[in-house]
Structure formats: C-alpha cells, structure tokens
C-alpha cells in the first residue's frame, strides 16, 4: 500500500514556489526543473502537478488525462532541450529499494553525454 501524500514534501514546496527551482517547463499537468545535484551535463526532473507519491501511486490512481498529460510533458521537455538526438535516459526511482528520496513522483531526464550501460 502506498503511503499517504505528504503536502510538505520537497517537490510539493517546489510546485507551490515556496522553494526556488530552475524551471524549464510547465503546463496544466506537469512542471520540469533542473536537479540540484546533476548526475549528467543535463539532469532535469519532471513532476506531475497532482498529489502522487510515486510511479506506482500515479499509474494506479491518476486519470487518463493526467497520465497522458504527464507522459506528453516528459517527451516535450526532452524534445525542447534538444535531447531527442543523440538521446537521453528516463528514470523513476520508486519506493525504498528503488532509492526514491522525495515522495512526489518524479521522472529524471539524463542527457548530454554517453550514459553507458544501465547501472544496478
Ligand atoms: P530520487 O532519489 O528521489 O529519485 O531523486 C531526488 C532528486 O532530487 C535527487 O536527484 C536530488 O539531487 C534532487 N533534489 C534534492 N533536493 C533538491 C532541491 O532542493 N532542488 C532540486 N531542484 N532538486 C533536489
């Protein structure tokens, strides 16, 4: 079972602009901003506006419109940043074993160098 959504989590505060972030994109469904500790030359985070703890919470509870809007936003951010060629990587850490640190769904976008094989 998914934990209840915490309105005081870091990304909830970034959504409300209570904590500053370097936003690169926003629409009705999602916002995107630079990760504070980039693991690649380009490292962005895309989050839905809705109150979802994780990929699991979102994929089971969100409406079709929210799911479509979020997926489209992830693609739009990568495309707008010119990452489609030569390519990029998406990652959604989920839960404890997934190494998720912030309990609001976020998809990482990594790009800007050859990323090599997937790490364990
Ligand atoms: P997770 O480990 O949950 O998948 O990813 C959390 C990400 O949030 C990490 O990559 C971390 O660097 C990033 N992060 C942590 N605190 C902040 C912050 O205050 N601002 C921004 N923009 N990113 C943050």
Q: What is the pLDDT of residues 11-57, one digit of tens each?
A: 999 999 999 999 999 999 999 999 999 999 999 999 999 999 999 99
Cα(101) to centroid(ligand 1), Å? 8
Residue 9, phi then psi, degrees to nearest 5 = -70, 160
Count of alpha carbons within 13 angstroms of residue 65, beta-carbon side: 5
CA of 87 to the centre of ligand 1 (A): 22
Q: How far is CA 40 from CA 15, 26, 36, 37, 115, in A?
A: 23, 22, 11, 9, 8
Tell me, what's the pLDDT at 68? 98
Pocket test for ligand 1, best of 25, 101, 104, 108 (most atoms within 8 A of CB): 101
Q: CA-CA distances (angstroms) from residue 104 to 22, 30, 32, 118, 119?
A: 18, 12, 13, 23, 23
The 10s digit of each residue's pLDDT in 68-109 is 999 999 999 999 887 888 999 999 999 999 999 999 999 999
Q: What is the 3-state secondary structure (H, E, C) of 101-118?
A: CCCCCCEEEEECCCCCCC
SS3 47: strand
ipTM higher than the 0.90 cut: yes
* Domain topology for 10-111: HIT family, subunit A (3.30.428)
Say which DSSP state 79 is in: H
- The residues spanned by each domain of the chain are 10-111
């Amino acid at each position: 079972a998914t934990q209840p959504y915490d309105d005081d989590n870091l990304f909830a505060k970034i959504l409300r602009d209570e904590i500053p972030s370097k936003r690169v994109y926003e629409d009705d469904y999602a916002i995107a901003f630079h990760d504070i500790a980039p693991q690649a030359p380009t490292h962005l985070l895309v989050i839905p506006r809705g109150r979802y703890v994780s990929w699991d919470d979102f994929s089971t509870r969100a409406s079709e419109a929210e799911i479509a809007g979020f997926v489209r936003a992830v693609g739009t951010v990568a495309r707008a940043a010119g990452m489609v060629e030569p390519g990029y990587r998406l990652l959604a850490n989920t839960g404890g074993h997934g190494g998720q640190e912030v309990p609001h769904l976020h998809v990482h976008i990594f790009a800007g160098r050859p990323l090599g094989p997937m790490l364990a």
